[in-house]
Copies of this chain bind each other. A is one copy, B any other.
């Protein structure tokens, strides 16, 4: 029974046979195979765009779940549980008969043989889509990552949550006043959406949720310091919204430092503008470094490590390989760089799915990729946000309501949507910071 007839049998509702047959990954099947590496917003959009095409889709990810990254900071700040913003990839693609999912860590690509290498597996492809995302960049100071973790994975979020909550626990019993202050100082590096949202959420956690939980320290004396090297927060937003975000953060008690980069970082704090800020918690939200995908295929990359792609998002010299989302450096048809945000990754995934479908069917492929910006949103604490749609700019409560509705709408899975809405409503009325667990899988 070949892979194809096996899938056909499954489609027809026929049962599995008692003697199971392995669908060969290393051999090509009868239909063209599209291998997608990474099940983020871009990779999943590409898989779905190919649902009706005569291809076999293989989605490879080292995780078994898709992560709704825009809400990851709420896991880090004890507002949501990991399961509320993550959804098993197999569940998402369950009903797409031409897609299968493989949980494996990709280590390279054999472009000559057209095969993805993942541990002991070789996965042959006819078309390859690289959608492996990005991490934060430490600007050549990778040793800072130990002291100032970034926020890209669920494990990052639970580690930061553990770190933040443990800092309050340690402060409660610290006998040295300087150490106690250090434990209650929180530095966030980077004034993009991640930094702004983290700063607001930590300030609210300390000043509202934890305010009455301790007997010795007063969590309201927590200092939250947001450091941005550029002249304003949220650089991709219009200037007036940057100013509104800064004012909203300051109302929450966040200290915003603009125009100065971090020049040193260790386990006791950072140095900004020649001045040392003592802090046991430093969180990194600056810079972008793409994954290793460019290295796998020996492609030309930009300074952030992103693959420089052609107007159809294919890799020059490899018309069968595409890069999308944070893995790609694309200028789009309008000559402007495509931003590293979820909507852009989704649009790129759907576009590449269309390109491959057209090539397989022999029809005319779509013109060059064009990014459509439907708006930018960022939230500041429990009831403020800024939103920019070009034709209208919102701030304050209207922007926050819009932010909430948009995020819940795009969350994958009806169940997760209900859970998140309930958590938010609960937090809104009780300021209770519900998910305050210090867990540690290493023990």
A218 sits at the interface (CB 8 A): yes
Residue in B81, B88, B102 whose beta carbon sits within 8 Å of that of A436 in the complex: B88
Q: Which residues of B contact A7 (CB under 8 A)?
A: 215
CB <8 Å contact, A94 and B212? yes
Residue in B81, B94, B102, B214 whose beta carbon sits within 8 Å of that of A90 in the complex: B214
A422 sits at the interface (CB 8 A): yes
A401 sits at the interface (CB 8 A): no
Q: Which residues of B contact A217 (CB under 8 A)?
A: 16, 20
CB <8 Å contact, B438 and A441? no
A216 sits at the interface (CB 8 A): yes
Cβ contacts A216-254/B at 8 Å (1 or 0 each): 111011000000000000000000000000000000000
A176, chain B: closest CB distance, angstroms: 9
A175 sits at the interface (CB 8 A): yes
A159 sits at the interface (CB 8 A): yes
CB <8 Å contact, A213 and B437? no
Q: Which residues of B contact A215 (CB under 8 A)?
A: 6-7, 10, 23, 100
CB <8 Å contact, A439 and B103? no
CB <8 Å contact, B155 and A439? yes
A residues whose Cβ falls under 8 Å from a Cβ of B:
6-7, 10, 15-16, 18-23, 25, 63-65, 81-84, 86, 88, 90-91, 94, 100, 102-104, 121, 154-155, 158-159, 165-166, 169, 172-175, 177, 180, 210, 212-218, 220-221, 415, 418-419, 422, 426, 430, 432, 434-443
18 A–B contact pairs at CB < 8 A? A6-B215, A16-B218, A20-B217, A65-B436, A65-B437, A81-B82, A83-B437, A88-B436, A90-B213, A91-B436, A94-B212, A121-B173, A154-B439, A415-B432, A419-B422, A440-B441, A441-B441, A441-B442
